[in-house]
Amino acid sequence: MATSSSASQILCASFNQDNSFFSIGTKDGFKIFEAKTGRLCYEKTLGAFSIVEMLFSSSLLAIVGAGEQPSLSPRRLCLFNTATGANLRELSFLTSIVAVRFNRKRLVVLLQDKAFIYDLNKMAILDEFETVPNTKGLCAFAPNSEGCYLAIPASNTRGSVLVYDTLQLQSYCQIDAHRSPLAALVFSSTGMYLATASEKGTIVRVHLVSQATKSYNFRRGTYTSTIYSLAFAPSLDIPDILIATSSSGSLHIFLVEAVINGSRQNKLLGSVMPDSINDAFDPANHHVVHNLVPAGVKSYVTVNRIENLPNTSPNLAFRASIYVVTQNGYFREYLLQFLKLNRSTWGVEREFNLLNVTSDSC
């Protein structure tokens, strides 16, 4: 495992919109990796970065310094081209930037109490509005340009979510998701569903965005735990699964599609699971991988792919490939196998130290 000194070097990590690449920001610079192979495709050593976001598989990055060097102000956003090594555009703000998200149409910049919406192609500002204090930069942005939604906290005392339409430049809806303040948010690939978790961390909810009052509940556990990361499986319709990592070090897998369709006979499990489902709290909809990472180590997770294997094995229903980046400097790929009769197994497919990888252009 990483030492305590290396653990403090990773300041941020994020996967791109299709999970084909991921980036990390460190005290020395930033790095871009190809997720499938683990190759270090690009690195820049010039100081500490607190935000590094990649636009799909392009050469465009949005980067923000951590403020440890005068030239890397946390109030300045740089759009950086990895192909040329040049800054394409810089945007300066009055206060520190807490989050940046973009897709092929919109660029979103969040300050602690304000949001800015830009046309990415013209780099023209389209809208700006005040938000509730959001020092952690908590937000979610739909990667699909057709469902170009931004989700941010609407309250600091309750778990309310403001969903903003960045194409129409207006509030779309407000979702009262939890009694406690929000801790994590993520959209499905199409922006059709939004998953939320509160600071209490015992319940994860999945909301149908078009019907703000329609939600599905999944119990993570009975004790309080900080949800570090949420991710839906890639899907053009209803996501098959939702995964979550928490401060307990466990990975939680929720069978979303089975619950939303109101039947345990979902498209992955076929008719292999027992009949009757009345509640998403049913433990049959929840699988746990314990001790995935050390307790208290922040992690960033995504679902790489899901394979339906109804005819491959008499016992195997489907399997999922999961990518995890940990703040103590490791990348891991896990293979989760969901067996018939509601059992599951898992194993580590790959693991490497992100801080010791040498550059190899993709």
Cα–Cα distance for residue pair 238/262, rounded to 1 Å:
12
Instruction: Give yes or no for a contact between 235 and 250, defined as CB atoms under 8 angstroms apart.
Output: no
Give whole-number Cα distances, 106 to 102, 172, 174, 270, in Å: 6, 16, 21, 39
- Strands 106-111, 124-130: pairing kind: unpaired
CA distance 116 to 129: 7
Q: What gap in Å lies between CA 184 and CA 195, rounded to an integer?
A: 8
Paired tokens of 330: 């490791």
- pLDDT score recorded for residue 281: 52
240 burial level (CB within 10 Å; 0-12, 13-18, 19+): buried
Cβ atoms within 10 Å, residue 215? 18
pLDDT computed for residue 308 by the predictor:
76
What pLDDT shows up at residue 279? 44
Q: In degrees rounded to 5, what are phi and psi of residue 19? A: 65, 15
Q: How do the pLDDT tens digits run along the chain, 362 residues long?
A: 333 344 457 999 999 999 999 999 999 999 999 999 999 999 999 999 999 999 999 999 999 999 988 889 999 999 999 999 999 999 999 999 999 999 999 999 999 999 999 999 999 999 999 999 999 999 999 988 777 999 999 999 999 999 999 999 999 999 999 999 999 999 999 999 999 999 999 999 999 999 988 889 998 878 889 999 999 999 888 888 999 999 999 999 998 988 888 744 444 444 333 333 334 456 668 889 988 889 999 999 999 998 876 665 667 778 899 999 999 999 999 999 887 667 788 999 999 999 988 766 66
Dihedral of alpha carbons 252, 192, 79, 359, sign:
positive
Count the Cβ atoms, other than its own, within 10 Å of residue 245: 28
The CA distance from 63 to 83, in Å, is: 15
pLDDT (0 to 100) of residue 201: 92
pLDDT for residue 130 = 98
Amino acid at 105: K
Length of the chain: 362
Cα separations (Å) of 58 from 16, 73, 82?
10, 25, 9
pTM: 0.90
Look at the alpha carbons of 273, 277, 282, 286 in this order and tell me if their dihedral is positive or negative: positive
Q: How many alpha carbons lie under 13 Å from residue 251 in its C-beta half-sphere?
A: 29
Q: Cα–Cα distance between 51 and 49 in angstroms, integer? A: 6
Q: Is the separation of the CB atoms in 244 and 197 below 8 Å?
A: yes
Please give the backbone phi and psi of residue 3, each rounded to the nearest 5 degrees, phi first: -80, 170
